């Protein structure tokens, strides 16, 4: 029995000495990738930071977030215009920003690098530029040629029933 106790004590003594005498300064060392990462350094030629959602607006003469300042237009054929992103269907919307005098509608299409300026002749007339036309009808309807491409986004109200508190 004494031999077993002495053997256990010897193993513990040697293990603790190894732990104490060993250099542990590099045990938890974290290897850092030396590539410099600069966040928000993706400014375009106008100075807008795309990663923060900013785009240049000709009508506002500055960088704006179109999803905050513009009117959202959803695709007319929503399922056909949805894209698969990481296993989920995502709808790509268009946005319209109007000039102060409402004579120009600036159109921001999904995946487009620059906006498109649509102009109207007078109040009540549609905004037009080449084959694009934006008209006010139950909100806004954006057509390319005679084909409806985008319509005003409609808020869908959902009734919440029950409680999220466990019983």
User: CA 114, 144, 92, 119 torsion: positive or negative?
Assistant: positive
Among 43-52, 74-83, 108-117, 126-135, name the most confident range: 126-135
pTM of the model: 0.63
Alpha helices in 24-133 (DSSP H): 66-69
Every domain of the chain and the residues it spans: 68-152
pLDDT band at 78 (very low <50, low <70, confident <90, very high): low
65 secondary structure, DSSP code: -
Q: Is 151 helix (H, G, I), strand (E, B) or coil?
A: strand
What's the confidence (pLDDT) of residue 17?
A: 59
Task: Find, among 115, 126, 137, 121, the residue nearest to 66 by Cα.
Answer: 115
Residue 116 has pLDDT above 90, yes or no: yes
Backbone angles phi, psi at 54, to 5 degrees: -90, 140
Cα separation, 135 vs 72, whole angstroms: 14
Q: How is residue 51 written in tokens?
A: 């990663």
Residue 63 has pLDDT above 70, yes or no: yes
């Amino acid at each position: 029995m004494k031999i077993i106790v002495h053997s256990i004590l010897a193993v513990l003594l040697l293990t603790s000495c190894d732990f104490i005498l060993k250099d542990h300064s590099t045990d938890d060392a974290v290897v850092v990738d030396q590539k410099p990462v600069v966040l928000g350094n993706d400014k375009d030629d106008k100075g807008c930071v795309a990663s923060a959602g900013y785009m240049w607006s000709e009508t506002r003469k500055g960088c704006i977030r179109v999803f905050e300042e513009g009117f959202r237009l959803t695709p007319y054929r929503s399922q056909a215009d949805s894209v698969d992103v990481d296993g989920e269907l995502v709808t790509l919307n268009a946005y319209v920003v109007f000039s102060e005098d409402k004579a120009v509608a600036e159109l921001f299409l999904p995946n487009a690098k620059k906006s498109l300026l649509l102009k109207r002749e007078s109040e009540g007339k549609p905004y037009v530029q080449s084959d694009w036309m934006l008209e006010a009808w139950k909100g806004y309807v954006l057509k390319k040629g005679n084909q409806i491409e985008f319509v005003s986004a409609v808020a869908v109200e959902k009734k919440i029933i029950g409680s999220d508190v466990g019983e």
